[in-house]
Protein backbone atom coordinates (compact mmCIF):
# COMPACT_ATOMS: atom_id res chain seq x y z
CA UNK A 1 0.00 0.00 0.00
CA UNK A 2 1.37 3.47 -0.93
CA UNK A 3 2.21 6.32 1.35
CA UNK A 4 -0.44 8.89 2.23
CA UNK A 5 0.08 12.34 0.74
CA UNK A 6 1.06 13.63 4.18
CA UNK A 7 3.65 10.85 4.69
CA UNK A 8 5.04 11.35 1.20
CA UNK A 9 5.31 15.10 1.86
CA UNK A 10 7.16 14.51 5.14
CA UNK A 11 9.61 12.24 3.33
CA UNK A 12 10.19 14.87 0.64
CA UNK A 13 10.22 17.84 3.02
CA UNK A 14 11.35 16.75 6.51
CA UNK A 15 10.16 20.02 8.11
CA UNK A 16 6.60 19.39 6.84
CA UNK A 17 4.11 18.68 9.60
CA UNK A 18 0.40 18.13 9.05
CA UNK A 19 -1.45 21.17 10.33
CA UNK A 20 -5.01 22.48 10.11
CA UNK A 21 -3.67 25.73 8.60
CA UNK A 22 -2.09 23.81 5.73
CA UNK A 23 -5.26 21.77 5.22
CA UNK A 24 -7.35 24.95 5.10
CA UNK A 25 -4.89 26.62 2.74
CA UNK A 26 -5.21 23.65 0.37
CA UNK A 27 -9.00 23.82 0.66
CA UNK A 28 -8.88 27.56 -0.15
CA UNK A 29 -6.77 26.82 -3.24
CA UNK A 30 -9.20 24.10 -4.34
CA UNK A 31 -12.26 26.33 -3.87
CA UNK A 32 -10.57 29.27 -5.61
CA UNK A 33 -9.74 27.00 -8.54
CA UNK A 34 -13.37 25.85 -8.88
CA UNK A 35 -14.93 29.30 -8.41
CA UNK A 36 -14.41 30.83 -11.89
CA UNK A 37 -16.05 27.87 -13.63
CA UNK A 38 -19.13 28.05 -11.40
CA UNK A 39 -19.47 31.84 -11.65
CA UNK A 40 -18.95 31.79 -15.43
CA UNK A 41 -21.56 29.05 -15.88
CA UNK A 42 -24.09 30.92 -13.76
CA UNK A 43 -23.40 34.12 -15.69
CA UNK A 44 -23.76 32.33 -19.04
CA UNK A 45 -20.22 33.02 -20.19
CA UNK A 46 -16.96 31.19 -20.61
CA UNK A 47 -14.23 31.19 -17.98
CA UNK A 48 -12.05 33.16 -20.40
CA UNK A 49 -14.77 35.79 -20.80
CA UNK A 50 -15.07 36.04 -17.02
CA UNK A 51 -11.30 36.47 -16.64
CA UNK A 52 -11.33 39.06 -19.43
CA UNK A 53 -13.98 41.07 -17.58
CA UNK A 54 -11.89 40.86 -14.41
CA UNK A 55 -8.82 42.22 -16.23
CA UNK A 56 -10.82 44.89 -18.04
CA UNK A 57 -12.47 45.97 -14.78
CA UNK A 58 -9.01 46.74 -13.44
CA UNK A 59 -8.01 48.76 -16.52
CA UNK A 60 -8.90 49.19 -20.17
CA UNK A 61 -6.40 47.56 -22.51
CA UNK A 62 -5.81 46.66 -26.11
CA UNK A 63 -6.74 43.24 -27.48
CA UNK A 64 -3.08 42.16 -27.69
CA UNK A 65 -2.45 43.02 -24.02
CA UNK A 66 -5.67 41.24 -23.08
CA UNK A 67 -4.47 38.17 -25.00
CA UNK A 68 -1.21 38.21 -23.01
CA UNK A 69 -3.07 38.52 -19.71
CA UNK A 70 -5.43 35.68 -20.63
CA UNK A 71 -2.55 33.60 -22.05
CA UNK A 72 -4.41 33.04 -25.31
CA UNK A 73 -3.72 33.92 -28.94
CA UNK A 74 -4.67 37.29 -30.36
CA UNK A 75 -7.34 35.56 -32.46
CA UNK A 76 -8.84 33.90 -29.38
CA UNK A 77 -8.75 37.21 -27.51
CA UNK A 78 -10.53 38.90 -30.41
CA UNK A 79 -13.29 36.29 -30.21
CA UNK A 80 -13.63 36.84 -26.46
CA UNK A 81 -13.91 40.59 -27.00
CA UNK A 82 -16.47 40.05 -29.79
CA UNK A 83 -18.65 38.00 -27.43
CA UNK A 84 -18.32 40.52 -24.57
CA UNK A 85 -19.23 43.35 -26.95
CA UNK A 86 -22.22 41.35 -28.27
CA UNK A 87 -23.48 40.91 -24.69
CA UNK A 88 -22.97 44.61 -23.96
CA UNK A 89 -20.28 43.88 -21.36
CA UNK A 90 -17.43 45.63 -23.20
CA UNK A 91 -16.82 48.23 -25.88
CA UNK A 92 -14.04 48.80 -28.38
CA UNK A 93 -12.88 52.42 -28.41
CA UNK A 94 -10.18 54.33 -30.20
CA UNK A 95 -6.95 54.34 -28.20
CA UNK A 96 -6.63 57.77 -26.52
CA UNK A 97 -3.02 58.24 -27.70
CA UNK A 98 -3.08 56.37 -31.02
CA UNK A 99 -6.31 56.49 -33.00
CA UNK A 100 -5.14 53.61 -35.22
CA UNK A 101 -5.30 51.24 -32.27
CA UNK A 102 -8.29 50.15 -30.19
CA UNK A 103 -8.73 49.71 -26.48
CA UNK A 104 -11.30 47.45 -24.85
CA UNK A 105 -13.28 49.00 -22.02
CA UNK A 106 -15.63 47.19 -19.65
CA UNK A 107 -19.13 48.67 -19.61
CA UNK A 108 -21.25 49.36 -16.55
CA UNK A 109 -23.24 46.27 -17.55
CA UNK A 110 -20.10 44.12 -17.61
CA UNK A 111 -18.92 45.43 -14.27
CA UNK A 112 -22.36 44.90 -12.74
CA UNK A 113 -22.46 41.34 -14.11
CA UNK A 114 -19.24 40.32 -12.40
CA UNK A 115 -19.89 42.22 -9.17
CA UNK A 116 -23.44 40.88 -9.01
CA UNK A 117 -22.26 37.28 -9.02
CA UNK A 118 -19.35 37.89 -6.62
CA UNK A 119 -21.02 40.35 -4.21
CA UNK A 120 -22.12 37.69 -1.65
CA UNK A 121 -18.57 36.35 -1.40
CA UNK A 122 -17.07 39.85 -1.10
CA UNK A 123 -19.61 40.79 1.58
CA UNK A 124 -18.71 37.70 3.61
CA UNK A 125 -14.99 38.31 3.19
CA UNK A 126 -15.35 41.96 4.23
CA UNK A 127 -17.29 40.93 7.34
CA UNK A 128 -14.68 38.28 8.16
CA UNK A 129 -11.85 40.80 7.75
CA UNK A 130 -13.65 43.35 9.92
CA UNK A 131 -14.04 40.74 12.65
CA UNK A 132 -10.25 40.46 13.01
CA UNK A 133 -8.24 42.56 15.42
CA UNK A 134 -5.28 44.46 13.99
CA UNK A 135 -2.96 41.86 15.53
CA UNK A 136 -4.91 38.96 14.03
CA UNK A 137 -4.97 40.70 10.65
CA UNK A 138 -1.17 41.07 10.75
CA UNK A 139 -0.74 37.33 11.42
CA UNK A 140 -3.16 36.37 8.63
CA UNK A 141 -1.47 38.80 6.24
CA UNK A 142 1.97 37.40 7.08
CA UNK A 143 0.76 33.82 6.56
CA UNK A 144 -1.00 34.57 3.26
CA UNK A 145 1.93 36.64 1.97
CA UNK A 146 4.27 33.75 2.76
CA UNK A 147 1.94 31.30 1.03
CA UNK A 148 1.74 33.49 -2.09
CA UNK A 149 5.53 33.89 -2.10
CA UNK A 150 5.99 30.10 -1.80
CA UNK A 151 3.64 29.53 -4.76
CA UNK A 152 5.23 32.28 -6.86
CA UNK A 153 8.56 30.49 -6.53
CA UNK A 154 7.13 27.92 -8.95
CA UNK A 155 6.07 30.52 -11.54
Q: What is the pTM of this model?
A: 0.76
Q: Domain 33-152, what architecture? A: Orthogonal Bundle (1.10)
The pLDDT value given to residue 61: 93
Q: How many Cβ atoms from other residues are within 10 Å of residue 91's Cβ? A: 18
Query: How far from 76 is each of 27, 50, 143, CA to CA, in Å?
Result: 32, 14, 37
Packing angle of the helix pair 63-70, 74-86 (nearest 10 deg): 110
Return the biggest CA–CA distance within the chain: 66
The pLDDT value given to residue 12: 83
Q: Please answer whether residues 52 and 70 qualify as being in contact, where contact means their C-beta atoms are separated by less than 8 angstroms.
A: yes
Q: Please answer whether residues 77 and 67 qualify as being in contact, where contact means their C-beta atoms are separated by less than 8 angstroms.
A: yes
Q: Is the dihedral of CA 19, 20, 21, 27 positive or negative?
A: positive
Packing angle of the helix pair 47-58, 74-86 (nearest 10 deg): 80
Q: What is the pLDDT along the chain (155 residues), one digit of tens a residue?
A: 456 666 777 788 888 788 899 899 999 999 999 999 999 998 899 999 999 999 999 999 998 999 999 999 999 999 999 999 999 999 999 888 777 788 999 999 888 888 888 899 999 999 999 999 999 999 999 999 999 999 999 98
User: What is the residue extent of each domain of the chain?
Assistant: 33-152
Amino acid sequence: MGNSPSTAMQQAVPAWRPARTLEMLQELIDVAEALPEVVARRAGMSITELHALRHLSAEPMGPVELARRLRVTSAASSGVVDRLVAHGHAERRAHPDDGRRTVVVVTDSGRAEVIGWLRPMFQSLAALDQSLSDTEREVVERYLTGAVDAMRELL
